[in-house]
Amino acid sequence: MSKFKAGIAALAAGAMLLGGCGSNDSAEPAATAASQAPAGNGVAALTADEILTKAREALTKAGSYHVKGGATSEGQSMTMDFRVSGADLVGTMSISKGAEIALLKVGGKQYMRPSEGFWSTLGLGATAKQASAALGTKWLEVPASNKDMSGIFQIWNVDELLSPTGTASKGETADVDGKPAIVVTDSSDAESKVFVATTGEPYLLKIGNTAGDALVFTEFGATFADLKAPAAGQVIDMATLTGKK
């Protein structure tokens, strides 16, 4: 599988382990139109690998972004909405079975708030309702030593996300929500496409495939007010909830 698709697949795997303008009759002078068009950032002239490098550098420089969309992995459809800042993140994902989980990673600590439906997907059966009620609106702290559950918090590794498994190839130009982009594909996963902005900063705008799955990236460099540690009284540790570390 292409690493372009790793962010999508990791979400699903982690979850199961617990993730126009109108026409104008008058022609505008060419010089004026050109002066109003955004200047290209030069990435369209680079090789595929160079484009990916520029996209990684731009995301790292931005420091934060918002990623939202839907994906399917091994027949399991899901939606996700995450705000990422460096190694921290906050957001939710929903699985097709009606299960939802909220995730928060901040200051080196990991928290999750699964719905009753999510607990059920973990095979808790009748105890799913009990676990959900015990947690309520509080956060469950997930220790780093819990490797199974910790994996879901590692999903937005920029280096992994933009590293092809096979040979990267530059494709056609495209439009992502009004922003011009260049497409890069991976020989090991012909359906998966990466869209990188060709004006302004060469940001990663979208990862998508021919099946219609797509993750869209926006709000580069933003500060997210909800990305903060919960109050001590709003946290339950794993041992308290499950009786074991």
Q: How far apart are CA 145 and CA 68, in angstroms?
A: 29
Residue 100 lies in a domain: yes
Question: Cβ(93)–Cβ(11) under 8 Å?
Answer: yes
- pLDDT, residue 73, reads 66
pLDDT at 17 over 80: no
76 contact partners, CB below 8 Å, separation of at least 6: 12, 16, 95, 96
The chain-wide mean pLDDT, for the chain, equals: 80
Residue 25 lies in a domain: no
Q: Which amino acid belongs to residue 136? A: G
CATH number of domain containing 68: 2.50.20.20
pLDDT at 35 over 50: no
pLDDT at 217 over 60: yes
* Of residues 116, 112, 124, 118, the one with CA closest to residue 149: 112
Q: What is the pLDDT of residues 122-147, one digit of tens each?
A: 666 677 777 788 888 899 998 888 87
Give the angle 142-62-213 at the CA atoms, nearest 5°: 65
Residue 56 lies in a domain: yes
Range of the domain at 157: 3-16+47-242
With tokens 């484009």, the residue in question is 51
Residue 130 lies in a domain: yes
Q: What is the pLDDT of residues 70-102, one digit of tens each?
A: 877 667 778 889 999 999 999 998 876 678 889
Q: How far apart are CA 16 and CA 24, in angstroms?
A: 53
- pLDDT, residue 6, reads 46
Q: How far apart are CA 67 and CA 206, in angstroms?
A: 9
Percent of the chain with pLDDT over 90: 42
Residue 225 lies in a domain: yes
Q: What is the pLDDT of residues 49-74, one digit of tens each?
A: 999 999 999 999 999 999 999 877 66
- pLDDT, residue 244, reads 52
Q: What is the pLDDT of residues 136-182, one digit of tens each?
A: 889 999 888 887 777 778 777 778 778 888 899 999 999 999 999 99
Give the 3-state secondary structure of 92-140: EEEECCCCEEEEEEECCEEEEEECHHHHHHCCCCCHHHHHHHHHCCCEE
How crowded is the C-beta side of 115, counted as CA atoms within 13 Å? 12
Q: How many domains does one find in the chain?
A: 1
Residue 23 lies in a domain: no
Residue 29 lies in a domain: no
Residue 22 lies in a domain: no
- pLDDT, residue 121, reads 72
